[in-house]
Amino acid sequence: MKPAPFSYYRATSIDDAITALSGADGMAAVLAGGQSLVPMLNLRLSPVDHLIDLRSIAALSRQEETPEAICYGALTTHAAFEDGAVPDGTNGLMRYAASHIAYRAVRNRGTLGGALALADPAADWLTTAVALDASVTLTGPDGQRCLAITDFVVGPYYTQIAEDEIIDSVVVPRRSAAERWGYYKVAPKVGEYAKSLAVALIDPAKASARLVIGAWSDVPLVLKAGASALLEGVKQHDLAVIVQNELDLKMPSLSPAERRLHTSSVVRAAEQARS
């Protein structure tokens, strides 16, 4: 299980990386933590001719704070979130999410940008980013553009990143201090990818609530009816019925067992958020 040959280039700056990407003939890919890409290379599942390593680009490891949001360089690792080594504007939600991704050795190297670029529908960061209304800043030969996460992700493993673009950073709006969150991950084993993943956010004072279900066969879905019911304080059982109806409408392909699973995780996340 060894990779096919490829060339390796260690980019020294974002521009350098973009130039290398644009100039490459054949398939080029950027390397961040390598925790998803290198397994695929080892398995010869993704043909790559040129690998452009982003890891020495200091700018991609930066964090910037504004009153409204925190901007995380794409190379910010899961472990940095887990350890509270980077600023947090989500009342600890990102820290919690990060600590439930994979295993420590993977979290030490895996990055936020890499996870979102991969757009695995079962990934923790994807559903979390949708719940948090994050946006993704892409840099290419023509400069930067910033996309809302829901525009950025087109489908499973499919994003708006152009061939000569990289994720520069991820901008996460600060949540209100009074907001509570719930995070419910159903995984077959500790550290595995989710089979169902729900995130709930509620701030009664601001009359805001958000419910997101992820880790099904498609990209995460925002559940509006469920969120309103959550805000109204609908009791658990009735909330379950509302969520189930909403899932039936938006995810008609689910089997009864899958529908039960996702309904439960949404309701659990919601209950956690308001407990």
Partner 1 sequence: MNHSDTKQGIGASVKRTEDARLVNGQGTYLADLDIPGTLEAAFIRSPVAHARLGAVKVPSEYSNQVFLAADLDFAHPIVAATDDPQFQSTKQFALAKDKVRFVGEMIAVCIAPTRAQAEDIAQSCELELDELPALWDMDVATAPDALLIHEHWRDNIYLKTDVSVGDLERARKDATVSLSKSLSMGRHGAVPLECRGVLAHRDRRLNELTVYSSTQFPHVLRTCISRAIDLPESQVRVIAPDVGGGFGAKGNFSPEELTIAALAMKLDQPIRWIEDRRENLIASPHAREHRYDVTVHANNDGLILGIEAMIRVDAGAYSVWPWTAAMEAGMVVGILPGPYHVPAYAAKSQSICTNKTPMGPYRGVGRTGACFAMDVMLDAVARELHLDPADVRLLNLIKPEDMPYQSITGKQYDSGDYPEAARKALAAIDIGAIRSRQAAGEKDDRLIGFGMSSYTEQTAHGTAEWVSRGLPVVFGYEPALARLTPDGKLILHVGIQNHGQGLETTLAQVASEELGIAVADVVVRHGDSSVSPYGMGTFGSRSMTMAGGAVSVACGQLADKVKRIGAHLLQTTADAGTLSDGRVHTETASVALNEVAEAATLHPERLPEGEEPGLDISAVYEPKRSTGAFSYATHACVMAVDPGTGEMEILDYVVVHDCGRMVNPMIVEAQVVGGVAQGLGTALYEEILYDENGQPLSSTFLDYMIPGCAEVPDVRMLHMETPSPHTKYGIKGLGEGGAISPPAAVVNALNDALKSLGAEITQTPVTPLRVLEAIESGAVSPL
Partner 2 sequence: MKQSVSLTVNDRPVEATVESRLSLADFLRLELRLTATHLGCEHGVCGACTVLINGEPARSCIALTVSLGGDEITTLEGLADDPAMQVIKQAFHDKHGLQCGFCTPGMLISTRDLLKRTPRPSEGAVRDGLSGNLCRCTGYQGIVRAVLKAAEDLAAS
Instruction: Note whether 266 and 246 are within 8 A (CB).
Output: no
User: In the window 109-168, what residues touch partner 1 (CB under 8 A)?
Assistant: none
* Residue 24 contacts ligand FAD per CB under 6 A: no
Instruction: Note whether 240 and 177 are within 8 A (CB).
Output: no
Taking CB under 6 A as the criterion, the residue among 32, 98, 198, 254 binding ligand FAD is 32
* Residue 27 contacts partner 2 per CB under 8 A: no
The C-alpha angle 212, 154, 243, rounded to 5 degrees, equals 25
* Residue 29 contacts ligand FAD per CB under 6 A: yes
User: In the window 28-47, what residues touch partner 1 (CB under 8 A)?
Assistant: 39, 43-44
Q: Choose from partner 1, ligand FAD, partner 2, none: what does 199 bind? Cβ within 5-8 Å by kind.
A: none
Instruction: Note whether 170 and 72 are within 8 A (CB).
Output: yes
CA-closest candidate to residue 148, choices 132, 164, 166, 163: 132
The C-alpha angle 99, 186, 96, rounded to 5 degrees, equals 20
Collapsing DSSP states into helix, strand and coil, what is residue 50?
A: strand
User: In the window 39-68, what residues touch ligand FAD (CB under 6 A)?
Assistant: 39, 54
Contacts of residue 136, Cβ cutoff 8 Å, sequence gap at least 6: 116, 129, 146, 147, 149, 152, 167, 169, 170, 171
Binding residues for partner 1, rule: CB under 8 A, are 1-5, 39, 43-44, 186, 188-193, 195-196, 237, 240-241, 244, 255-258, 260-261, 263-265, 267-268
Binding residues for partner 2, rule: CB under 8 A, are 1-8, 10, 31, 34-35, 38-39, 41-43, 51, 53, 55, 79, 102-106, 108-109, 189-191
Binding residues for ligand FAD, rule: CB under 6 A, are 29-37, 39, 54, 74, 101-102, 106, 110-111, 113-115, 117-118, 123-125, 161, 166-167, 191-193
